[in-house]
Structure 1
Amino acid sequence: MGHTTLGVLPKTRYWNEVADLLAGTAPHNAIFAASAQAAEKDLLQATDDPVFIEAVRLLLAIPAAARAQDFGNALREQNLLVPDRPGLLDLISATTRRLDQVRAAGGGRSDLGELAARALSKTLTTSIGDTLPGLFDATPDDVLTTARKLSWNKSVSEYTRCFFGSLVAGSLSYWLDRTLDRHIGDGHRFTDVAARNAFQSDLDQFAWESTRIIREFSGGWYGKTLYRDGGFNSVEAARFGSVALKKIVDDLRTRQVRRG
């Protein structure tokens, strides 16, 4: 990544193909598959990004911390500065601060790190926040109960899938958003903003479907690693993130073959 000029796709063979598909009448799925192929290198490079690795570590560590007798202290042991009885906003703010620290120590911002940070915030908001009885009515005990449930095998499978689905969708949108607005209007791919938004919804669904493989191994791996090691360090987070992204990319490649 690293390209910052809005309205312009990178000048590579794969992104040139995406541009041609956008300008033509190709179905949405063909554009998504071509975009995934073009973004493949960036996705695989995420495993070397310290913010991505820390985001994955925190993703795994937060439900595990909810199993402890003292949730607040367990989170602080994971470098998340929260009060003794943290609410959802405390949790999200603490993860944001922690990722900012890792980003600063690593020499600054990267596009992939930013996308991983956003994916983690979105995942916590969705996986915890959407189950609470209202943001302002929820108590710290509600947050603890929901976070603890995420550490169960079935729940952690959907929880980790939410993170990687958000990351993939964010990675594809990162590039496509630069040019899609240029394709709105008479004689273009999108007749209006509503059609453009429908394309985004289809893209999110495409990303979600590409991460279904996460469900098949994440729950078992999570339980086994937590039982064996008692928690998740950066090495295990990097290993899990690498395997997850490689499996997702393999699925995206399959979709590319089907398109061809």
Structure 2
Amino acid sequence: MAKRHVLPTRAFGAEPGTPDVSTLAAWIAEHKGRLADIMTWRVDQSLAPQAEASITMPCAGGTFYRDRILSCLQGVTGRKATGELHVDTPDIIEDAAGIVVRKKGAWCAMPAPHALGIRDEYYEDELEWNDAICSAYRTIMRAMRDTGVVGHVLITDSLVPAELASLAGKNVFYFHPSPDTRSLEQLLDRQWQVAVPADRLSRLFALKEEYTIRKVFIIDADAAAISLARQHLDPDQIVCGGYNSRNEEDYWKDLVARAVYES
């Protein structure tokens, strides 16, 4: 008789919709005495369904967190860098505290620095600008980790080598939702764990002889993808990953239900 095995699951963020006025007002009233606005609501709603579905490695946030970062960056006006970058962290810390209250051990996702869409009109030097924006991100991420957030997922649809070299590390995971072969190579140059959609697994394994792959997070895994991964990796190197970009109601529960295989 075949034995059923359950794989761990990991979230890489979500993109909750905008609440109606009455929903937001009621939520703010429930959280009187602490920062409560549309951003804290979206952060909370990105994480709550993951907690309910018992995702192994939950992750609040998403690309929507761009607005909070921009509002906390001093030296930026209208998506233009017009002065020295500094970070005002109180709202960031409040967001982190809310994440920890909702689910201990959670990560937080946000857009990668270049995805903020800021145009440098102050430093006027590519390397200096990269140093400045990456330093600001390190300040943001350190403030959140000091509050109890475990680490950060930086979401990107294109990779900036200098930025990747500066930020990728143990507590900072770069996530490309739809990587091509070149993007996978760039990611594997910096991190031996990589997230890849189920339909692009074959591209990843074609690189196995050139790069070290210690763990794969299969985004929206199905039985075929899990079977393919098992041909190349040990079971403890395979995780079923998810990114709820379309705000699907049962996304995380469905992800957990698919994170199984038989042997």
- Say whether the fold is shared (TM-score over 0.5): no
Higher relative contact order (CA 8 A, sep 6+): 1
Task: Give me the TM-score of the superposition, normalised by structure 1.
Answer: 0.31
More helix by share: 1
Task: Give me the TM-score of the superposition, normalised by structure 2.
Answer: 0.31
